[in-house]
Amino acid sequence: MEISTQKSLAIAELNPIVTDIAAFAGTIEGLDVTDEETQGQVGDLVKMMAHRRRKLEDKRISLVKPLSGVVNEINALFKPPRDRIDEIVTIAKGKMKRFAQAQAALANEKARQERETAERERREAADLAEVLRKKAGIEAEPIAQAVVAEAQKKVEKAFKPEASKVAVTRGQESSVIVTKTWKGKVVDMMAIAKGVAEGRLPLSVIEPNMSAIQGLARETKRAQVVDGIEIWEDIGTLVR
């Protein structure tokens, strides 16, 4: 087959593909990702575009392989639609990523508000418990403790770290993954201890250092209870 004939066939097969790409471009550019449904629609379109790009590449290779003299000409013919597909996919993935980030921001704001509400309720519960103690004395202590404990549960639940949430769109090749994880670090151990003592932080944030406690016991060498640590002599038997 002559080169000119092969080139004409390539153009003939390329034209409907270019028209198809233009239609997909119009659809994707006209879509706004505003919910899970449109997120999935855009993901499906990206997957379909990836399939068409593979078909486009396969056709290019099948035409270029037997022809050495017109390789550059054929490559030049296929470059614009190939670049257009890449551009469309970039636009679509950008829309999906922005939607995922917006959803993550909403979730973070909701969690922040829940923590603020829980902390406010804890303070109100502590004030109420104090009022009960002043008005009813020792008889009100169980009720006061129950009120504070219930509010503390809400604080612990609000501050409980959630597992990373992963948002994945439909279509493996068009997946956009955004992870969000809240993390914390210790900057003032004394402040943490005070926060636990005053009920602002859950007791679970303090983990006893048993190695340090055993070292303290060996240094003290006296049975006693000091600041919440009991020290005693453990007598064992060793048979030789």
Structure token digits, residue 49: 């575009």
Distance CA 30, CA 52 (A): 20
- CA distances for 77 relative to 81, 194, 219, angstroms: 8, 72, 84
Distance CA 69, CA 64 (A): 9
Residue 2 DSSP code: -
Distance CA 15, CA 23 (A): 13
Q: Are strands 224-226 and 229-231 parallel, antiparallel or unpaired?
A: antiparallel
The region, left, alpha or beta by phi > 0 then psi within -120 to 50, assigned to residue 201 is beta
Residue of 178, 182, 164, 162 whose CA lies nearest to 39: 178
Tens of each residue's pLDDT in the chain, 240 residues: 566 776 777 778 778 888 888 888 888 888 888 888 888 888 888 888 888 888 888 887 877 777 666 777 778 888 888 899 999 999 998 998 888 888 888 888 888 888 888 778 777 777 766 766 666 566 556 666 666 677 667 667 666 655 544 444 454 444 445 556 667 777 777 777 777 777 777 777 777 778 878 888 888 888 888 777 788 888 765 544
Domains observed in the chain: 3-102 (1.20.58)
